[in-house]
């Protein structure tokens, strides 16, 4: 999997996770379209879980210079919208408790990026070094194989999905499907392991960029009147993708989710196809007929 920059600090509570640095809120790995003052309020609360964040502090930080009436209306609107997205209630709070006349506090169990699995931890015989990717169906870490000394990528299900049997079954099928493919243009799966009830895939660590990142960076470096890639480079990428897909099709495996974020271009211009989590196996059934067997759950939904 790709080696990229470090993920911002993540704070988790219930099925939610908040990036403190970017203000991005996710539920079960799916990004929620919430921004502005509601996220700013939540960020202040998660930084001090269980402790009071006063109305005075909120006004000073988020509504400086506002009159009391404007501040009161703005704060109420922000908290109500935040509760709406969290599925929370003022009368029976699970996450945000109102301290009448004083302010709010975050209640419930809160975990940080180094709780459980995370950088600095050792799982099986792998030392996790840093988080390098996060999406709806997986969290990817760069790790050191303590037996062989090599660097690998570990892909875990998000913690909130670890008890979801559909997600677990999809995750295992992704590993089994991808591990049956041995081709230079397909990301290599080494093995599937489990740690504290959480399954994870061990795969090769790639250095470079996804095709989407390549397109963006190339476009920024060129004028709008010029092609993003020269013809030879573009054809080389296309041929390598087709070679990898042909190898999969020969084993009756269809990717079903080919897109720029699932195509990786290494620093040596080797193209790798990522994530066969949406694959279908097409198997022969009785009487020589072919039946399409869907081995995936519903496709990832990420806004």
Catalytic residues: 257
Specify which residues 300 forms β-bridges with: none
Q: SS3 of 279, please?
A: coil
Judge contact between 177 and 253, C-beta under 8 A. yes
Query: In angstroms, rounded to a whole number, what is the distance separating the alpha carbons of residues 52 and 160?
Result: 26
Report the distance separating Cα 261 and Cα 274, nearest Å. 8
Q: Which pair of structure tokens corresponds to residue 1?
A: 């999997």
DSSP-assigned states of every residue in 116-174: SSSTT-EETTEEEEEEEEEETTEEEEEEEETTT--EEEEEE--GGGTT-HHHHHHHHHH
Q: Which residues contact 231 (CB under 8 A, 6 or more apart)?
A: none
Residue 17 · residue 26 · CB < 8 Å: yes
Tokens describing residue 160: 């909130």
């Amino acid at each position: 999997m790709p080696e990229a920059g470090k993920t911002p600090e993540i704070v988790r509570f219930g099925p939610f996770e908040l990036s403190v640095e970017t203000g991005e809120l996710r539920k079960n790995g799916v990004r929620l379209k919430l921004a502005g003052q509601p996220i700013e309020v939540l960020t202040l609360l998660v930084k001090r879980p269980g402790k009071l964040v006063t109305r005075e502090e909120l006004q000073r930080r988020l509504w400086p210079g506002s009159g009391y009436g404007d501040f009161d209306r703005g704060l109420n609107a922000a908290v109500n919208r935040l509760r709406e997205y969290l599925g929370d209630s003022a009368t029976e709070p699970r996450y945000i408790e109102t301290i009448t006349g004083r302010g709010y506090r975050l209640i419930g169990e809160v975990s940080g990026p180094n709780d459980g699995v995370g950088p600095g931890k050792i799982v099986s015989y792998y030392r996790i070094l840093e988080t390098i990717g996060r999406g709806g169906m997986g969290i990817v870490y760069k790790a050191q194989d303590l037996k062989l000394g090599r660097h690998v990528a570990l892909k875990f299900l998000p913690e909130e999905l670890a008890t979801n049997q559909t997600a677990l079954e999809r995750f295992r099928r992704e590993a089994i499907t991808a591990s049956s493919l041995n081709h230079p243009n397909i990301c290599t799966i080494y093995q599937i392991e489990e740690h504290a009830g959480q399954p994870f895939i061990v795969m090769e660590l790639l250095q470079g960029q996804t095709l989407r990142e390549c397109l963006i960076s190339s476009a920024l470096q060129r004028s709008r009147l010029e092609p993003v890639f020269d013809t030879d480079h573009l054809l080389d990428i296309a041929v390598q993708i087709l070679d990898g897909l042909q190898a999969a099709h020969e084993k009756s495996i269809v990717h079903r989710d080919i897109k720029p974020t699932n195509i990786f271009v290494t620093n040596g211009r080797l193209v790798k196809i990522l994530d066969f989590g949406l694959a279908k196996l097409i198997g022969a059934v009785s009487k020589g007929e072919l039946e399409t067997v869907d081995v995936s759950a519903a496709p990832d939904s990420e806004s």
